[in-house]
Structures are given as structure tokens and as C-alpha cells.
């Protein structure tokens, strides 16, 4: 594995994408060659690493990290946030007292402030806030509810430093989006003041993967139902997949702050976002859903070289700023 494997996968998927487009046109009408080749590369990478053990999967994902321009415009500081290894991303030109508490995706198995550093930095720069990325514990070594416990501990730590809850917003993608909801439910039940709200990108809120889009969008997205169920099994560690803090689609959401959800029309989690929005609204929660045409899972993480990612991140920042007032 390593660099040679990555380069081989990139070359193979790029050639295959070019050949397919010459014969049949783009897989989706709005996709550029660069975007389609990137999706194909990510899909092939997932298909290759799904058979590896968890540490090897993490190493493979970490190896894809490429330093970005955004990271040069922030100061990074390691911090112990209530026992959770975390990292501040602070704009070099100054920041407000607001905090974006960022929860990375990675199917509960991989991901870190390294893999998501570019996006976290862009959110800090786009909001003018300090962004705190959490490196919460990962499955299968640390199954549910370790991740929820870590987020609760980190949020309590933030409050103990004097940050007001109304100056904090949660933000998370995929598994991190689901964890953001679960952590808020847990904090509410513990009587802890909640943050101003949350911006959730393609939140994974149903570990049974029962939505139709998990299958109907499998041709376009860079994952699959079987992959998700594999990672869900590692995360659950024997827990019921309908446990509310594991699959917050089934949680009591009453009393949660406003939520903004972003999801792509061509991704596996489309129905997760739709069903969760309906559930939240039915329970009196302000929930705003934006469906991005033609987009796949976590397209916002593709970086500043992709106009789709730039637009998606800008909209996330707009919603984060709105929540912070």
C-alpha cells in the first residue's frame, strides 16, 4: 500500500473515467471530468480498504492528506478538551470569541483533524470564529457510546473555560453529523445548556441504512450499503442499531436548537437527511434542509480546487454565522 498504490488507483480511475465519458458522456450531467474522476478515485479507495483492519484503513485515509492553502492561513494549536485530544484552527488575521465545534466524519472508524483539516480551516476563515476539531475515540476499539461521551466531555470543557453556549455552534459531516445530534440530545437530557445550533453535512443518522437512496444512488456515490453496514457493525459493538444515541433518526429531538442540513441529491445519505428533517420538524425543531443537485457525499471536503466544494463550504459558513448572530 502507500503512495504507489494511491498513484496507481488515481491513474486507473482517471483512465477509466475518461474512456467512459468518451463513450457515454458524464455519469451525471453536471459533472466535470475532474469531479467525476475524483469520485471514482474515492470509490475505488473505499472498495480497496474495506477489507483491511481498522488501523490500516486509518493509515490509508491519512495518507491521502495534501497540505492546502487554507491551512497556511490559520494557526493550529493542540489542546486537551476535557480529556479529548483536539486541535484549534484560528484565523491568522484574528478571530471572534465564537467557537465552531467540528466533528469529523469517517464512518466512526477513521478520520481526524488531519483528514478534515482543510475543511475545518476553511470554516474558521469563512466564519471568523475559532474552530475546534475533536479527535474523538474511534471504533471498533472504542465502540458506541465512547464517541458521544467524548463530545459531551469536550463541550462541557468549553463551557468551563468561559465560552457561552450561545457563542458555540456544532458542525459535523457524515458520522460527525450524526454524533452532533446525539451529543445535543445527551446534553439536553443532562440539563446542560445547548449550543446555538448545528450545521450538519450529510448526517448519518440511521445505522440500519434503511433509506432507499442508499441503494438508488449507489452508482454515483463513493460508498455502498454493504460498506456502511460493515462500519456500523464495528461502531455499534453489539448495540441495537435503533438505539437513539447511535441512530438519532429515532431520538427524541424536542428542545434542540435550530439545525441546518446539507445533502447531495446523488448521495447515499439523501434519505437520511430528508427523513431526519421531517422528524425534527414534527417534534418542533427548526430544521432547514438544502439538497444540492448532482452532488455526492461530503463534496464540501474536496477542497478549494473544486467550485462545488467552495460553494458548499461558503453556504455552510453562511448558516454558521447566522446561528451565531
- Work out the end-to-end distance of the chain between its first and last CA atoms, rounded to an integer number of angstroms: 47
In 3D space, the residue among 182, 134, 169 whose CA is nearest the CA of residue 324 turns out to be 169
Transcribe 259-283 into DSSP letters.
EEEEEETTSTTHHHHHHHHHHHHHT
Block residue for cell numbers 476499539: 141
Residue 256 to residue 278: CA distance in whole angstroms: 14
What is the set of active-site residues? 174, 267, 297
Q: Does residue 160 sit in helix, strand or coil? A: helix
Q: Which of helix, strand or coil describes residue 196?
A: coil
Name, in order, each residue with C-beta under 8 angstroms of 311's C-beta and a sequence gap of 6 or more: none
Q: What sections of 168-288 are H helices per DSSP?
A: 175-189, 213-216, 225-236, 270-282
Round to whole Å and give the CA distance between 146 and 208.
Answer: 19
Three-state DSSP class for residue 170:
strand
CB 225 within 8 A of CB 214: yes
Whether the CB-CB separation of 172 and 100 falls below 8 Å is answered with no
Amino acid at each position: 500500500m502507500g503512495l504507489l498504490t494511491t498513484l496507481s488507483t488515481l491513474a486507473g480511475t482517471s483512465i477509466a473515467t475518461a474512456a467512459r465519458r468518451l463513450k457515454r458522456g458524464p455519469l451525471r450531467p453536471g459533472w466535470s471530468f475532474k469531479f467525476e474522476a475524483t469520485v471514482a478515485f474515492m470509490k475505488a479507495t473505499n472498495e480497496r480498504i474495506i477489507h483491511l483492519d481498522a488501523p490500516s484503513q486509518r493509515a490509508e485515509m491519512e495518507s491521502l492528506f495534501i497540505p492546502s492553502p487554507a491551512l497556511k492561513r490559520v494557526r493550529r494549536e493542540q489542546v486537551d478538551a476535557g480529556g479529548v485530544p483536539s486541535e484549534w484552527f484560528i484565523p491568522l488575521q484574528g478571530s471572534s470569541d465564537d467557537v465552531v465545534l467540528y466533528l469529523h466524519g469517517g464512518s466512526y472508524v477513521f478520520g481526524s483533524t488531519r483528514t478534515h483539516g482543510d475543511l475545518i480551516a476553511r470554516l474558521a476563515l469563512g466564519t471568523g470564529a475559532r474552530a475546534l476539531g475533536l479527535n474523538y475515540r474511534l471504533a471498533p476499539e472504542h465502540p458506541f457510546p465512547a464517541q458521544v461521551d467524548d463530545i459531551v466531555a469536550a463541550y462541557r470543557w468549553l463551557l468551563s473555560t468561559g465560552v457561552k453556549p450561545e457563542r458555540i455552534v456544532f458542525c459535523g459531516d457524515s458520522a460527525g453529523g450524526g454524533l452532533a445530534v446525539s451529543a445535543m440530545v445527551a446534553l439536553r437530557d443532562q440539563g446542560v445548556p445547548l449550543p446555538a445550533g448545528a450545521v450538519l453535512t450529510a448526517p448519518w443518522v440511521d445505522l440500519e441504512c434503511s433509506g432507499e437512496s442508499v441503494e438508488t444512488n449507489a452508482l454515483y456515490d463513493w460508498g455502498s450499503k454493504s460498506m456502511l453496514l460493515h462500519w456500523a457493525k464495528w461502531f455499534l459493538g453489539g448495540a441495537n442499531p435503533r438505539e437513539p444515541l447511535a441512530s438519532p433518526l429515532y431520538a427524541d429531538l424536542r428542545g434542540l436548537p435550530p439545525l441546518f442540513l446539507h445533502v447531495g441529491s446523488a448521495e447515499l445519505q439523501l434519505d437520511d437527511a430528508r427523513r431526519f428533517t421531517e422528524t425534527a420538524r414534527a417534534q418542533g425543531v427548526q430544521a432547514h434542509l438544502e439538497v444540492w443537485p448532482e452532488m455526492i457525499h461530503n463534496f464540501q471536503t474536496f477542497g478549494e480546487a473544486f467550485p462545488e466544494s467552495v460553494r458548499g463550504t461558503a453556504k455552510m459558513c453562511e448558516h454558521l454565522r447566522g446561528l451565531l448572530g
